[in-house]
Structure 1
Amino acid sequence: MTEFWRSTALTHLEARRSCQENTCYRVHTHDALSIGVIDAGDSLLAGPLDGTIPLEAGDIVVIPAGQAHACNPDRSRWLHRMVHLDQSWGASLLPDPDHSPLFDGISVFRRPGLHALLTALTDAVFADPSEDRLAQLFRDALTGLEQAAPVYRVTAEVDPELLEELRPVLSRLLMEEVNPSLDELASSLDMTKFQLIRAVRRTTGLPPLAWRQNARIVRARHLLREGRSIADTANDMGFVDQSHFHRVFRAHVATSPGEYRR
């Protein structure tokens, strides 16, 4: 069961409530700052990490844009809520965003006071308040998170020179209608295929073709929120048919395109 809500005051703000019992997410990224609240059940947070991080009821997870991750229930019924917001907007609410630890990597907080604060925030968000009220709510929440000590923080170091070198490859992965040959992409950078795979994973948290699928789903979410039909979205994103689009979308979003678009 999943319920989505979108702000009428801030087009970038989206929230969800979900109840899951089985593995539902593959490793993915968002183009937004994501704040998760675990209300019940145990789950496992995975990604470009050394192993997995166990999460429990009451935990808060903050995931900056572009951080690869997957969170799935661990042998129990898992109830959680998630808020996605434009990261630059969220950063603008803080006095010194350039030095905020919230944007350095994935953080897990385990403090009852924070859980109460973030539960109140998400409850308020679903009530669709004004932009000024939302700014105040998120300013309070982000300030509270920024000042708290996490029980886990996983930073992802990005090599800017490697990222710049990979930009032509990432552009082709994003724009070409069919999966480009990894051998050809690697050759264009004087790499072997396996060097390319390692380089893209090191930079994005995902191997090349998984990064391509994730990027298409991120864009598909924007199109569906704008009211684009499922068929047109699937076609625009280069999926061979709606069935294929449905399978890949569910693996990244844990719901169908139709349920998401409502």
Structure 2
Amino acid sequence: MKAVKTEMGGEVFPGAEPGVELHEMHGLSRSFPPHFHDHYVIGLITGGRRRVHLRFPCGGEGEAGFSGVAEAGDFIMIHPFEIHACEDIGGSSLDWKSLRLSRESVLPILGRTEGSFPPILRDRKLRRLFELLCAAVKEGGNRERQRELLAAVLRGLPRKTNRCAGKRRNIPSPFPDILRWLAERSERPSLDAAARRFGVDKFVLLRGFSANFGITPYRCWESMRLERALDMLRRGHAPVDVAAELGFADQSHLTRAFRKVFGMPPGVFRRLKRARGIPGG
């Protein structure tokens, strides 16, 4: 399958199996702000190192979070809706390849209770399987072979019942309601408006939301909006229409926000999907 080149020194290869993409990045020097996706990411650092921050979506101030250094040869595992960020160490560049997997591609293999994977992992046998799968995706075709290798990779990952086991606690009011309120907003939410809506001081709201979810209200809303943009692009909508529908000032505004998180402009992502001929893949 022909790759789609990104603007960050990398390429994207669509898998023959729906919901599977291979991303390769070379010489990456930038950091990534806190954000989340609606899919799994299994990434392998092939050169350089990064400090990784994960916040598991289970609430609790100072709980259920992880920070650590990942180096060449390490896997990084990210779950759907898990807030994550990374930063460079000492200005080193990063070489990285990752598989982005929809839940629909993972659940049939691991079952409905897919559990969770360790944040950082080093495993030679797993790396061999991962490299074989990446090579199969790059070669294209042979969907059955890709499916077999994907199953081998996923089943080779150590799993826990839940990353949040023993750490989960109820998120206090009104923060779950604020999260739902953000999800309903098409225009940029105002901290003052949220404070008035829920009857709390805006600085208390900001600190409490960030402590419980590991992300600011604005960054959370922006991640939600970008996930909606991804979904629209998957279904074949043009970037200009996505920008108008989701309240971006214009297509350029969408492009800047999209590129900052996903490493490519929305038009490139849409061409990747159209190249497969599977709009919702």
- One of 134, 149, 156 as aligned partner of 1:144: 156
| Structure with the largest fraction of helix | 1
Identity %: 26
- TM-score of the two chains, using structure 1 as the length reference: 0.81
Q: Which has the higher contact order (CA 8 A, sep 6+)?
A: 2
Which residue number corresponds to residue 58 of structure 2?
none
Gapped regions of structure 1 (runs ≥ 5): none
Decide whether aligned partners of structure 1 residues 231 and 71 sit closer, same or farther in structure 2, where only a CA change above 3 A counts. same
Q: Indicate if the aligned counterparts of 1:2 and 1:17 stay in contact, CA closer than 8 A.
A: yes
Q: How much has 1:70 moved relative to structure 2?
A: 1.9
- One of 192, 198, 214 as aligned partner of 1:205: 214
Q: How much has 1:154 moved relative to structure 2?
A: 7.1
Q: Which moved more, 1:115-124 or 1:57-66?
A: 115-124
Give the whole-Å Cα distance in 2 for the aligned partners of 1:25 and 1:254. Answer: 10
Which residue number corresponds to residue 94 of structure 1?
110
Which residue number corresponds to residue 41 of structure 1?
48
Decide whether aligned partners of structure 1 residues 114 and 195 sit closer, same or farther in structure 2, where only a CA change above 3 A counts. same
Q: Indicate if the aligned counterparts of 1:158 and 1:202 stay in contact, CA closer than 8 A.
A: no
Which residue number corresponds to residue 56 of structure 1?
71
Decide whether aligned partners of structure 1 residues 197 and 158 sit closer, same or farther in structure 2, where only a CA change above 3 A counts. farther
AA paired with 1:138?
Answer: L
Q: State the Cα deviation string for residues 105-156 of structure 1 (Å, max 9, x = none).
A: x511122222222122222233344554444222211121126x9xxx9759
Q: Indicate if the aligned counterparts of 2:13 and 2:21 stay in contact, CA closer than 8 A.
A: yes
- TM-score of the two chains, using structure 2 as the length reference: 0.77
Decide whether aligned partners of structure 1 residues 172 and 143 sit closer, same or farther in structure 2, where only a CA change above 3 A counts. same
Q: How much has 1:99 moved relative to structure 2?
A: 7.1
Q: Which moved more, 1:211-220 or 1:221-230?
A: 221-230
Gapped regions of structure 2 (runs ≥ 5): 1-8, 56-61, 272-281
Question: 1:185-200 to 2 correspondence within 5 Å?
Answer: 185-200=194-209
Question: 1:224-239 to 2 correspondence within 5 Å?
Answer: 224-239=233-248
Which residue number corresponds to residue 98 of structure 2?
82
Q: How much has 1:214 moved relative to structure 2?
A: 0.9
Q: State the Cα deviation string for residues 34-71 of structure 1 (Å, max 9, x = none).
A: 11011112222124487842211111111111111123
AA paired with 1:210?
Answer: R
Q: Indicate if the aligned counterparts of 2:136 and 2:145 stay in contact, CA closer than 8 A.
A: no
